């Protein structure tokens, strides 16, 4: 029986491994020490799950209960299968036996809490399935039969395992009156031993067929997770194969996500599009990939052996709709929350690449991509108009192509072309001049960085923009580079080879301002009286870990900073990233994420201002204030505006941002 169960388990696992090998090759065997460290922290430490204690603590107990019972059950099985063999078992160890005893009770307690949460409280995202109920019953049965077997065994041999067996000893005393003879206790011990063994073997066979397959796959998913910066998207397999929509076109690591998913719903609870009613579910996308793999994988394996062409239907338009893919904002909240390190974003972008290759994009996105190709910006404006924002400054920023500068300011298209944001750009120019920062710009040589073009799936356009920008950057003489736009900052830092290493680095302007204030090159002449909250941009925070510099700037200005419930790595996306700012509304959402975010800010007691550090955030939230009717209740300000006010509060500025003296 034991050999049959183990054989079935090994056969199924081998089959699943063969399914993974349908995917494209990808090297995930580098940097082994870093991968082992990640397993220690996130598998054995359960760090991501413990961020939610009500979920994490019961799961941690059950997880370690499984590890402990691997030892205990192995000993029980060996002792039962080979009675003549002198097998040292946990039950006979005076130190380990009480630990196993306690863990059995703790696992039952943890299981009770998690079952109550799943089946009674029923939080959004958790699926009520027969599979989940069966696994809970199996785990509970394992613990109960183990404890009952131990109780009857201690009636027969009370000295085994040391004097202290809290649960088993208590059960032995409780059961003493139910059995009059030692032979009866021995018979019950054997009964529950066999029940426990049968449940173990049944669980072993059932596990690789159930949703709890993640117990096997999750450690490998964490071990083989990407170690590159989150802001660096994987390149396509080849120029001939852009994107994916069939199983063989994904990498084996992307397919592993399907088996590792625990269907816990944490990604859905974090996803701004899903939370606002968009047809975009990271959990369902991974689940659909698993369904495709299990349904068509066996046929593909047979065809692979026969070297025949496959007939597997495409995922797009089948299990996954285009609207689900376009609903993604690429905010990375799903991956940040996933306890098994699934890589949702690379799958979304690969599927989008295939849609773009087919020309299946909406009219607004198509226009934006056409403008990027022709003009180098999505606004469809001439490159020479980038210099318009310098009007009214009273000075002309240096041209970094013509004279060396300490800092190159990569403006970004929103800072240049959006009418409202041009004033904010001028504010930063004046602040830097006041701090005597030696900076320059590229003027008409600058193009869109390509961040959003790449994330909507237009890889060829990204390559074109990067090539032109790299050529312009090579003409400039600078030591360090900074940008106001987190999307620009992310791509220049992570996706322009050598740029972040050949110079003094790529920075966000909040880092530069924080350093200037810290060193006294900028000084706030008065403390600002505002009560504010700060929104962490996704591409600045989650992607690049920049949380403290903007807050350091705010503290230097004297404002009262109050955090929103969702802040730092839990920040809620404005939904302007990932090309969403170029797309039509689906009409299926009950509220836009930007509207949900400004309501959250307005609900923070005493807050009168929402401070942002991203041009797209400013645009999205300013519009959301109008649609929610919160314009009189809350103001949206860029951090630059507050810095300028604190540095030069007495100067009134005209509609172009010029001071009286400059006019």
Contact between residue 122 and residue 128 where contact means Cβ atoms under 8 Å apart: yes
Work out the average pLDDT over 20-46.
95
The beta-strand segments (E) located in 580-631 are: 609-612
If one compares 85 and 488, the residue with the highest pLDDT of the two is: 488
**Confidence label for 315 from pLDDT (cuts 50, 70 and 90):** confident
**Confidence label for 92 from pLDDT (cuts 50, 70 and 90):** low
**Confidence label for 659 from pLDDT (cuts 50, 70 and 90):** very low
What's residue 305's pLDDT? Answer: 56
Contact between residue 314 and residue 242 where contact means Cβ atoms under 8 Å apart: no
- The per-residue pLDDT for range 50-74, each reduced to its tens digit, is 988 888 899 899 888 888 887 777 7
**Confidence label for 661 from pLDDT (cuts 50, 70 and 90):** very low
Angstrom distance (rounded) from CA 638 to CA 485 = 11
Roughly what angle, to the nearest 10 degrees, separates helices 182-206 and 2-20? 20
Q: State the first-to-last Cα distance of the chain, in angstroms, to the nearest integer.
A: 91
If one compares 162 and 37, the residue with the highest pLDDT of the two is: 37
Work out the average pLDDT over 87-93.
63
What's residue 650's pLDDT? Answer: 45
What's residue 259's pLDDT? Answer: 95
- The per-residue pLDDT for range 186-206, each reduced to its tens digit, is 888 888 888 988 998 898 999
* CA distances for 535 relative to 196, 257, 275, 624, 651, angstroms: 53, 31, 18, 14, 28
What's residue 28's pLDDT? Answer: 94
Give 189's DSSP letter: H
Winning range, highest mean pLDDT, from 77-81, 112-116, 308-312, 639-643? 639-643
Q: Is the pLDDT of residue 662 over 50?
A: no
Give residues with Cβ within 8 angstroms of 476, minimum separation 6.
400, 401, 405, 408, 440, 442
Winning range, highest mean pLDDT, from 171-175, 320-324, 447-451? 447-451
Q: Is the pLDDT of residue 472 over 90?
A: yes
Angstrom distance (rounded) from CA 506 to CA 430 = 21
What's residue 90's pLDDT? Answer: 63
If one compares 338 and 163, the residue with the highest pLDDT of the two is: 338
Q: Is the pLDDT of residue 88 over 80?
A: no
- The per-residue pLDDT for range 543-583, each reduced to its tens digit, is 999 999 999 999 999 999 999 999 999 999 998 989 999 98
Q: Is the pLDDT of residue 180 over 70?
A: no
For 549, half-sphere exposure in the C-beta direction (CA atoms, 13 angstrom radius) is 20
Q: Which of 29-43, 233-247, 268-282, 508-522 has the lowest mean pLDDT?
A: 233-247
What's residue 545's pLDDT? Answer: 96
Give residues with Cβ within 8 angstroms of 606, minimum separation 6.
531, 560, 562
What's residue 657's pLDDT? Answer: 41
- Indicate the CATH number of 247-358 among 1.10.1060, 1.10.10, 1.20.120, 1.10.150: 1.10.1060
Strand order across the 407-409 sheet: 398-399, 439-441, 407-409, 480-483, 506-508
Query: Where do the domains of the chain lie?
Result: 29-223, 247-358, 365-647
User: In terms of pTM, does the model score above 0.85?
Assistant: yes
């Amino acid at each position: 029986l034991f050999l049959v169960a183990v054989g079935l388990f090994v056969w199924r696992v081998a089959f699943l491994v063969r399914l993974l090998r349908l995917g494209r090759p990808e090297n995930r065997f580098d940097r082994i020490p870093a991968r082992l460290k990640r397993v220690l922290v996130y598998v054995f430490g359960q760090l991501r799950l413990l961020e939610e204690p009500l979920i994490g603590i019961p799961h941690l107990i059950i997880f370690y209960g499984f590890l402990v019972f691997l030892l205990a059950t192995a000993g029980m099985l060996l002792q039962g299968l080979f009675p003549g063999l002198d097998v040292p078992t946990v039950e006979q160890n005076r130190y380990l036996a009480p630990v196993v005893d306690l863990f059995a009770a703790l696992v039952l307690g943890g299981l009770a809490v998690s079952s109550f949460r799943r089946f009674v409280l029923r939080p959004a995202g958790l699926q009520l399935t027969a599979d989940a109920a069966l696994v809970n019953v199996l785990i509970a049965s394992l613990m109960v039969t183990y404890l009952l077997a131990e109780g009857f065994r201690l009636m027969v041999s009370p000295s085994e395992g040391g004097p202290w067996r809290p649960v088993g000893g208590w059960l032995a005393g409780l059961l003493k009156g139910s059995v009059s003879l030692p032979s009866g206790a021995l018979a019950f011990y054997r009964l529950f031993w066999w029940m426990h063994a049968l449940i173990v073997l049944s669980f072993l066979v059932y596990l690789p067929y159930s949703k709890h397959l993640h117990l096997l796959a999750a450690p490998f998913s964490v071990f083989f997770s990407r170690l590159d910066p989150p802001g660096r998207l994987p390149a396509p397999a080849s120029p001939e194969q852009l994107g994916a929509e069939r199983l063989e076109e994904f990498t084996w690591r992307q397919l592993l996500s399907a088996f590792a998913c625990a269907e816990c719903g944490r990604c859905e609870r974090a996803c701004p599009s899903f939370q606002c009613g968009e047809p975009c579910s990271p959990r369902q996308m991974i689940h659909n990939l698993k369904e495709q793999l299990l349904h068509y994988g066996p046929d593909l394996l047979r065809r692979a052996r026969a070297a025949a062409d496959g007939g597997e239907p495409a995922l797009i338009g089948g299990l996954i709709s285009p609207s689900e893919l376009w609903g993604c904002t690429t905010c990375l909240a799903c991956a940040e929350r996933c306890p098994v390190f699934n890589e949702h974003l690379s799958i979304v972008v690969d599927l989008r690449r295939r849609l773009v290759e087919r020309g299946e994009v909406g009219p607004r996105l198509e226009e934006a991509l056409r403008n990027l190709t022709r003009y180098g910006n999505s606004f469809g404006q001439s490159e020479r108009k980038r210099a318009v924002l310098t009007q009214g400054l009273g000075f002309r920023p240096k041209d970094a192509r013509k004279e060396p500068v300490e800092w190159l300011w990569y403006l970004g298209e929103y800072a240049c072309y959006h009418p409202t944001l041009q004033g904010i750009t001028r504010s930063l120019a004046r602040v830097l001049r006041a701090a005597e920062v030696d900076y320059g710009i590229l003027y008409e040589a600058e193009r869109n960085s390509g961040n959003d073009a790449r994330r909507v799936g237009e890889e060829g356009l990204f390559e074109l923009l990067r090539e032109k920008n790299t050529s312009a950057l090579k003409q400039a003489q600078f030591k360090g580079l900074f940008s106001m736009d987190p999307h620009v900052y992310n791509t220049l830092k992570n996706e322009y080879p050598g740029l972040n290493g050949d110079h003094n680095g790529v920075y966000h302007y909040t880092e530069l301002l924080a350093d200037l204030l810290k060193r006294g090159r900028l000084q706030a002449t008065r403390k600002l009286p505002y009560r504010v909250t700060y929104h962490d941009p996704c591409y600045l925070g989650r992607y690049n870990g920049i949380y403290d510099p903007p807050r350091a700037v705010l503290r230097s200005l004297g404002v009262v900073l109050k955090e929103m419930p969702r802040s730092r790595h839990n920040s809620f996306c404005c939904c302007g990233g990932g090309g969403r700012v170029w797309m039509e509304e689906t009409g299926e959402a009950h509220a836009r994420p930007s509207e949900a975010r400004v309501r959250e800010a307005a609900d923070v007691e005493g807050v009168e201002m929402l401070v942002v550090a991203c041009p797209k955030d400013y645009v999205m939230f300013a519009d959301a204030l109008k649609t929610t009717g919160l314009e009189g209740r809350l103001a949206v300000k860029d951090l630059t505006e507050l810095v300028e006010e604190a540095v030069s509060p007495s100067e009134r500025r005209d509609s172009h941002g010029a001071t009286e003296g400059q006019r």
